[in-house]
């Protein structure tokens, strides 16, 4: 089966959903493809606190509202995982789904975002869901009144440590160096919490296990090489960075060395008619507010391309 659109948007996070609103309001025949749940990273956050004009913060409910909005002006929403994007001989864009289906369009916006990097330890995969987690919002409740560790020094690690501190008995944040990437305001908030300990210059050397579950961790001081066992840690929340989801365009050579899409100020890649928006593009600030900006620009550029 082959279906022809003006625009295919891959990914329904804030960038993709904003692009859908702008494109469909311009009468562009649009479909949004999503492999998981609409909302992207907004589903994994407690509150969006830096959306201008909303001082009290926005809840993850915004993901549902954006999803409704994204289809309100005629854009289609379709579940499907994209395997490959191909530019055919007529310059059309073929989107090949993992189920064998092929959709075609004149333009594509890649708004696939990023996925969490796993903890680089041998038993990390085996213990995922058995004490190791990548989502405090989803799994925090399993560790009520227990000791948990959070790994990383970025905004995600610090935000999620603050969230976990509300229900866990103790949170130990382990960061591999002295300075933090996380915003100062978040770090200050974390440091003020009584049940939080911050271990700077430490990495996790080993995740201990018993009965197929996490049963403590061994941490190593990177300056002294000293090892320390935190035997009562039952949950390990990993926030050691993210990687862009761009395997579907690997053959098009439109990414940088880390896999982020390279786009110009119109959000267009070096392949005409293929655009990028949101966390998946090469940029400095990855926030909801910058993602919606990218989505709007990308859709306006498609409008210009098709006119």
Nearest residue to the partner ligand NAP, using Cβ: 154
Q: Please report, to the nearest 10 degrees, the dihedral formed by the alpha carbons of residues 61, 62, 64, 65 taken in order.
A: 130
The answer to whether residue 177 forms part of the interface with ligand NAP (CB under 6 A) is yes
DSSP states along 273-306: TEEE-GGGBS-S---HHHHHHHHHHHHHHHHHHH
Helix ranges (H only) for the chain are 14-25, 61-71, 124-127, 136-139, 155-165, 184-191, 288-306
Residue 307 has a CB neighbour count (10 Å cut-off) of: 7
C-alpha 152/C-alpha 262 separation (Å) is: 27
The answer to whether residue 159 forms part of the interface with ligand NAP (CB under 6 A) is yes
Residue 243 has a CB neighbour count (10 Å cut-off) of: 13
Q: Tokens 């009562």 sit at which residue?
A: 232
In the annotation, is 91 catalytic? Answer: no
Q: Which stretch binds ligand NAP (CB under 6 A): 28-36, 222-230, 234-242, 256-264?
A: 234-242
The answer to whether residue 6 forms part of the interface with ligand NAP (CB under 6 A) is no
Catalytic residue among 139, 183, 205, 282: 139
Q: Which of 286, 300, 305, 306 binds ligand NAP (CB under 6 A)?
A: 286
Q: Which of 36, 57, 74, 120 binds ligand NAP (CB under 6 A)?
A: 120
Q: Is 55 helix (H, G, I), strand (E, B) or coil?
A: coil
The answer to whether residue 240 forms part of the interface with ligand NAP (CB under 6 A) is yes
The answer to whether residue 176 forms part of the interface with ligand NAP (CB under 6 A) is yes
The answer to whether residue 74 forms part of the interface with ligand NAP (CB under 6 A) is no
Q: Which of 29, 69, 146, 181 binds ligand NAP (CB under 6 A)?
A: 181
In the annotation, is 139 catalytic? Answer: yes
The answer to whether residue 5 forms part of the interface with ligand NAP (CB under 6 A) is no
Catalytic residue among 135, 183, 205, 282: 135
Site for ligand NAP in 126-155 (CB under 6 A): 151-155
The answer to whether residue 241 forms part of the interface with ligand NAP (CB under 6 A) is yes
Sheet holding 233-238, edge to edge: 132-133, 233-238, 147-151, 170-175, 196-200
Tokens representing 76? 């289609």
Q: Just list the catalytic residues.
A: 135, 138-139
Interface contacts to ligand NAP, rule CB under 6 A = 120, 151-157, 159, 176-177, 181, 203, 239-242, 286-287
């Amino acid at each position: 089966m082959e279906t022809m659109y003006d625009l295919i948007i891959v990914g329904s996070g804030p960038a993709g959903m904003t692009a859908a609103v702008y494109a469909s309001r311009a009468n562009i025949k649009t479909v949004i493809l999503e492999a998981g749940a609409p909302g992207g990273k907004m589903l994994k956050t407690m509150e969006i606190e830096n959306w201008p004009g909303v001082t009290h913060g926005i809840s993850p409910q915004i993901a549902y509202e954006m999803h409704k909005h994204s289809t309100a002006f005629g854009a289609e929403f379709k579940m499907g995982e994209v395997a490959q994007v191909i530019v055919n001989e007529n310059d059309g864009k073929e989107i090949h789904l993992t189920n064998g289906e092929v959709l075609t369009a004149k333009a594509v916006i890649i708004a696939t975002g990023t996925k969490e990097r796993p903890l680089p330890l041998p038993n990390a995969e085996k213990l995922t869901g058995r004490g190791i987690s990548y989502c405090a919002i989803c799994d925090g409740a399993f560790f009520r009144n227990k000791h948990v560790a959070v790994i990383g020094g970025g905004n995600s690690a610090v935000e999620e440590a603050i969230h976990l501190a509300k229900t866990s008995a103790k949170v130990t944040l382990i960061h591999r160096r002295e300075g933090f990437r996380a915003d100062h305001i978040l770090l200050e908030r974390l440091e003020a919490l009584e049940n939080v300990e911050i271990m700077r210059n430490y990495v996790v050397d080993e995740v201990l296990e018993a009965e197929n579950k996490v049963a403590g961790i061994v941490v190593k001081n990177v300056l002294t090489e000293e090892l320390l066992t935190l035997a009562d840690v039952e949950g390990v929340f990993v926030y050691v960075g993210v990687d862009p989801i761009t395997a579907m365009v690997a053959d098009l050579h439109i990414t940088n060395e880390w896999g982020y899409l390279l786009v110009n100020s119109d959000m267009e890649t070096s392949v005409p008619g293929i655009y990028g928006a949101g966390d998946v593009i090469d940029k400095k600030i990855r926030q909801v507010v910058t993602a919606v900006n990218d989505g709007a620009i990308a859709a306006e550029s498609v409008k210009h391309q098709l006119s």
